[in-house]
């Protein structure tokens, strides 16, 4: 590994790349004197954090949600998840070594530090983030140093464009939307602690805190949470809001005052590091499991939010195709603008649930592609367009997902069968006006990207037989946006898959179509009817598409994979819009 040239002036950098050599050298030039006893290395990591704390993004120029930056005197490296590799390659300059974290041939941070630091080295860390690294590095004479002030803060100031800390207020999330009072939720947590023989719990997950107390904030973009910690025992409950010094001091006292304290595996050293290790019960909090089981009001809100957003998506797609056929093509930016415009007319809409993605052709190979000023690509029928967007409603968040992380193998099975895969995670839960995350997909660098998402509710399944009285469950879709027929190779689908698609299309037309009819959106309804086709098997093997509201049959068109479901007025639909 060659040393980095911090002094090189780079005027030939692409517009997506930040020349940051001066930034990651500054902390060490500032503290390079031996008598200062400053660390010889510093690193930081973050995910879903307020803009004021996005130190890694400032230091590196990499704007992905997850990642870790490590800076030595002569080297600098960034670890990112595989889903962010293409984005990192675009945004990082040559001063950084890019590490594809989690891959077999890529060293983890501790191994890399052992190889690049001599004994008696000191590593400056943000103790609010890291907890487990010390035991791995201490045997090699490498000391972790929890800096009282983050080194990046020494150079990243408001004068350098640093956002100020959030001063947003906390609002109550009404029981009308939550379906359960915060007092009842706290009671259930205390019952769990009592049954488990645990005295208290320290809650550090912002989503869990917001859900538990039916409160929402605005400290993190797209995510209505607020910066807080909670200490909850049978006798007291304390919610610390932004007063970090107080919580760090009191956790040392309160944590050591109980015999057994439940903490998350991700609890930071700053919070848990001074509590007697024998008192700590390191495990996931019961709150996450409580959040996955929805009450009737939450389920009603979930279905309502997804109906609203299904209407938004169907309307947007119908308008996009109409304009394309009349020689008025859209750009990536126009897609995002229209989604926001249509959602703004929906009751209880509170903004996007994440930064929307509209990506054409090669751009879609970057899972989190975001166009920059002047770089928005036009949409045509010669390339795929990937649209990934979600919305926050007071009743619920809308996005399309698969419901359980244990089903990762199911989501990947079809790709695995032909030797393909995707490198990011699968599955996440949804909350009432809360958080969102990942989904299954497939990407080919510099060519295309596809993500398919459908929100599923897990419901009881009445089987013909009940072996040993076992109960079974099924997935019930609540997102209704039609699949793009021209992207389906019908000869690969078996009868069960065709039956599922026919049922999904029929339900989409019933659920969304009925609402469009009530709203008198006849143009959009006609578009939906043309897309919610029925597939039949001709002579037992040849797929045939029957379009709702049309009398003719459109047969399979050969091996090219283009299948057209007809279009009102005799016009052929756009062939490559993929949602």
Mean local confidence (pLDDT), 236-252: 82
Domain ranges across the chain:
21-160, 171-292, 295-481, 482-569
Question: What is the spatial distance between Cα 579 and Cα 574, in angstroms, rounded to a whole number?
Answer: 13
Please give the CATH topology (third level) of the domain spanning 21-160: Creatine Amidinohydrolase; Chain A, domain 1 (3.40.350)
Tell me the per-residue pLDDT of 140-161, one tens digit each, with 9 for 90 and over. Answer: 777 777 665 677 888 888 988 8
Tell me the per-residue pLDDT of 174-233, one tens digit each, with 9 for 90 and over. Answer: 898 899 999 999 999 999 999 999 999 999 888 899 999 999 988 888 888 888 889 999
Q: pLDDT category, 361, cuts 50, 70, 90? A: confident
Q: Poorest-confidence range of 175-189, 323-337, 422-436?
A: 422-436
- pLDDT of 522 reads 95
Q: pLDDT category, 490, cuts 50, 70, 90? A: confident
Q: pLDDT category, 544, cuts 50, 70, 90? A: low
Mean pLDDT of the chain: 76
Instruction: Assign domain 295-481 one CATH number from 3.40.640.10, 3.20.20.140, 2.30.40.10, 3.90.230.10.
Output: 3.90.230.10
In this structure, are strands 349-352 and 357-360 parallel, antiparallel, or unpaired?
Answer: unpaired
Question: H/E element holding 23?
Answer: helix 21-30
> What CATH class does 171-292 carry?
alpha beta
Q: pLDDT category, 4, cuts 50, 70, 90? A: very low
Report the chain's terminal Cα–Cα distance, integer Å. Answer: 42
8 A C-beta contact, residue 117 and residue 72 = yes
Please identify which residue in the block is written with the tokens 């990642």.
67
Q: pLDDT category, 448, cuts 50, 70, 90? A: confident
Tell me the per-residue pLDDT of 34-46, one tens digit each, with 9 for 90 and over. Answer: 333 344 444 444 3
**For residue 78, what are its two tokens?**
């960034």
Q: Given a cut of 80, is residue 410 above it in pLDDT?
A: no
Q: pLDDT category, 570, cuts 50, 70, 90? A: very low
Q: Given a cut of 70, is residue 526 above it in pLDDT?
A: yes
Q: Is the pTM of this model over 0.85?
A: no
Q: Given a cut of 50, is residue 7 above it in pLDDT?
A: no
Backbone angles phi, psi at 302, to 5 degrees: -60, -50
Give yes or no on whether 21-160 and 295-481 have one common fold. no
- According to the 3-state scheme, what is the secondary structure of 165-222? CCCCCCEECCHHHHCCCHHHHHHHHHHHHHHCCCCEEEECCHHHHHHHCCEECCCECC
Q: Given a cut of 70, is residue 575 above it in pLDDT?
A: no
Which residues are registered as beta bridge partners of 44? 69
Mean local confidence (pLDDT), 252-277: 84
Question: What is the spatial distance between Cα 117 and Cα 107, in angstroms, rounded to a whole number?
Answer: 14
- pLDDT of 494 reads 86
DSSP for 220-285, written as a single string: BTTB----EEEEEESS-EEEEES-HHHHHHHHHHHHHHSS-EEE-TT--HHHHTTS-GGGEEES--
- pLDDT of 505 reads 94
Most confident of 6-10, 136-140, 420-424: 136-140
Q: Is 348 left (phi over 0), alpha (psi -120 to 50) or beta?
A: left
């Amino acid at each position: 590994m060659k040393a980095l040239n911090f002094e090189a002036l780079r005027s030939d950098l692409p517009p997506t790349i930040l020349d940051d050599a001066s930034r990651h050298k500054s902390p060490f030039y500032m503290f390079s004197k031996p008598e200062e006893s400053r660390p010889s290395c510093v690193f930081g990591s973050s995910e879903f954090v307020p803009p004021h704390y996005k130190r890694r993004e400032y230091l590196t120029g990499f704007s992905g949600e997850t990642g870790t930056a490590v800076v030595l005197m002569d080297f600098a490296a960034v670890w990112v998840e595989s889903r962010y590799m293409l984005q990192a390659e675009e945004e990082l300059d040559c001063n950084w070594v890019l590490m594809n974290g989690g891959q077999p041939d890529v060293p983890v941070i501790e191994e890399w530090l052992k190889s690049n630091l001599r004994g008696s080295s000191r590593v400056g860390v943000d103790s609010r983030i890291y907890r487990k690294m010390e035991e791995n590095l201490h045997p090699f004479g490498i000391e972790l140093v929890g800096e009282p002030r983050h080194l990046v803060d020494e150079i990243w100031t408001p004068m350098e464009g640093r956002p100020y800390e959030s001063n947003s207020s906390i609002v109550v999330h009404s029981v009308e939307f939550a379906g359960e009072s915060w007092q009842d939720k706290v009671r259930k947590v205390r019952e769990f602690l009592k049954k488990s023989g645990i005295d208290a719990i320290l809650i550090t997950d912002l989503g869990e805190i917001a859900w538990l107390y039916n409160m929402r904030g605005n400290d993190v973009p797209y995510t209505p949470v607020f910066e807080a910690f909670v200490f909850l025992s049978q006798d007291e409950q304390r919610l610390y809001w932004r007063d970090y010094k107080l919580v760090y001091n009191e956790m040392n006292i309160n944590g050591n005052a109980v015999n057994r304290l439940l903490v998350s595996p991700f609890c930071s050293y700053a919070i848990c590091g001074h509590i007697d290790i024998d008192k700590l019960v390191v495990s996931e909090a019961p709150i996450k499991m409580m959040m996955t089981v929805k009450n009737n009001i939450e389920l009603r809100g979930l279905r309502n939010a997804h109906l609203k957003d299904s209407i938004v998506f169907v309307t947007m797609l119908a308008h996009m195709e109409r304009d394309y056929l009349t020689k008025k093509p859209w750009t990536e930016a126009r897609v995002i603008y229209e989604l926001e415009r249509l959602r703004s007319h929906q009751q209880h809409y509170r903004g996007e649930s994440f930064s929307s993605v509209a990506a054409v052709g090669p751009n879609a190979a970057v899972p989190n592609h975001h166009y920059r000023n002047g770089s928005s690509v036009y949409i045509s029928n010669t390339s795929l367009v990937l649209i990934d967007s979600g919305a926050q409603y007071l009743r619920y968040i809308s996005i399309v997902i698969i419901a359980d992380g244990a089903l990762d193998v199911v989501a990947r099975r079809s790709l695995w069968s032909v030797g393909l895969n995707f490198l990011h995670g699968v599955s996440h839960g949804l909350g009432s006006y809360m958080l969102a995350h990942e989904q299954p997909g497939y990407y080919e660098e510099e060519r295309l990207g596809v993500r398919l998402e459908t929100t599923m509710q897990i419901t009881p399944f009445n089987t013909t037989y009940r072996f040993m009285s076992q109960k079974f469950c099924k997935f019930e879709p609540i997102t209704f946006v039609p699949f793009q027929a021209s992207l389906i190779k019908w000869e690969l689908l078996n009868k069960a898959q065709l039956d599922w698609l026919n049922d999904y299309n029929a339900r989409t037309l019933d659920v969304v179509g009925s609402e469009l009819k009530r709203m008198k959106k006849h143009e959009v309804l006609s578009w939906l009817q043309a897309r919610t086709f029925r597939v039949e098997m001709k002579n037992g093997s040849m797929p045939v598409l029957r379009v709702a509201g049309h009398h003719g049959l459109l047969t399979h068109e050969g091996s090219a994979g283009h299948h057209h479901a007809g279009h009102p007025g005799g016009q052929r639909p756009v062939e490559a819009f993929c949602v």
